[in-house]
Amino acid sequence: MEETLRALEAALGCGIRSAAPVTDRRRGAAVYHVEHTHGQLALKTGPAAGREAAVLTALAELYPGYLLAAGEGWLALRWLTGPTTSELFAAGRADPAARPRALAAASELAAAVADLHAVGWRHGDLQPRHAHHEGLGAAQLIDFGIAHPPAGDLRTPPCPYRGGMAHFAAPELAATLAVTPADAGVPLTEAAEVYTLSAVLFYLAADRLPVDYAAVGLDRATASVADLHRVLAGGPTGDVRGDLAGWPELADLLTAGMNPDPTGRPAAADFRRLAALSA
């Protein structure tokens, strides 16, 4: 770690004052809140750091100033102070007065995904805490280590895709993952990512996962990822629209977005109309 901090100081021309662990993430990555003589930043280390740095370099026009520096096994990112989508929806579930801000966050998250899709990219790991809302109207996605580039884009190292957080996988993606070897990558379509976007927002609004594992006889405590994929291939369980009764503004979009048939799903850009509903 000491060598990484010295490299960071050299790259940014600053002095490090402190580096406090924030959280350990999947795939061996760790994140630190670093305070230095010019301000603060997030330092991410781990085996996927080089690929994430390459992705963010390729997306520099979409996210100007987010990637600050990178080196062997690490990257430095702008420190994000805004709440996550998860935090804003938790507030909205607890207090009706906070619901408009949660709805705006849903629109902002969807807009960020739509912007990625517009340039041919897919995030690959949308989760409730994988976007920070840095002010009304904008969301910054995080964790791009397994992002999918446009076809033929060779600016990033290859990364066999095995899905993001399993609970939010589209049925067609889960079905493919369930029958392919663990080291074989599978394609991620925009339609599959729209399902994941919708499933994440459903989870945040309804306060339950799209699939009730107990209802289908699966014990999450002992289930393997392959077991989860086999169940998720069947699509959402329960009354999706009914569970969104407290969020009528979301009901139509999320029910359509979680359609087991990918051809019946809206595009991420279609979620932008939530902005008007949250005003």
Q: For the segment 218-276, what is each residue's pLDDT rounded down to a tens digit?
A: 998 899 999 999 999 999 999 999 999 999 999 999 999 999 999 999 999 998 777 66
Convert the pLDDT of each residue in 21-56 to its tens digit: 987 555 568 999 999 998 999 999 998 899 999 999
Using the 3D structure, point to which of 44, 63, 78 is the last residue of a domain: 78
Kindly report the CATH number assigned to the domain that includes residue 31: 3.30.200.20
Residues 62 and 143 in one domain: no
Q: For position 278, what pLDDT does the model report?
A: 57
Domain check: are 118 and 44 in the same one? no
φ, ψ for residue 15, nearest 5 deg = -110, 135
Are 17 and 148 contained in the same domain? no
Cβ-based neighbours of 87, under 8 Å, separated by 6 or more: none
pLDDT in tens, 201-214: 999 999 999 999 99
Do residue 210 and residue 252 come from a single domain? yes
Q: Which helix (H) or strand (E) holds 225?
A: helix 225-232
Q: What is the CATH number of the domain that holds 264?
A: 1.10.510.10
In this structure, the number of other CB atoms found within 10 A of the CB of residue 212 comes to 13
Final residue before a domain boundary, out of 30, 52, 78: 78
Q: What are phi and psi of 261, to 5 degrees?
A: -90, 110
**Cα–Cα distance for residue pair 90/241, rounded to 1 Å:** 19
**CA-to-CA distance for 98 and 45, rounded, in angstroms?**
35
* Structural domain that includes position 244: 85-278
Name the domain boundary from 47, 78, 109.
78
For 51-83, write each residue's pLDDT tens digit: 999 999 999 999 999 999 999 999 999 999 999
The total domain count for the chain is 2
Among 258, 265, 232, CA closest to 243: 258
pLDDT digits (tens, 9 = 90+) for 98-109: 999 999 999 999
For residue 25, give both structure tokens.
């993430």
In single-letter form, the type of residue at position 170 comes to A
* Token digits of residue 74: 């690490």
Q: What is the DSSP letter of 146?
A: T
User: Which of 65, 60, 75, 68 is CA-nearest to residue 30?
Assistant: 75
158 and 34 within one domain? no
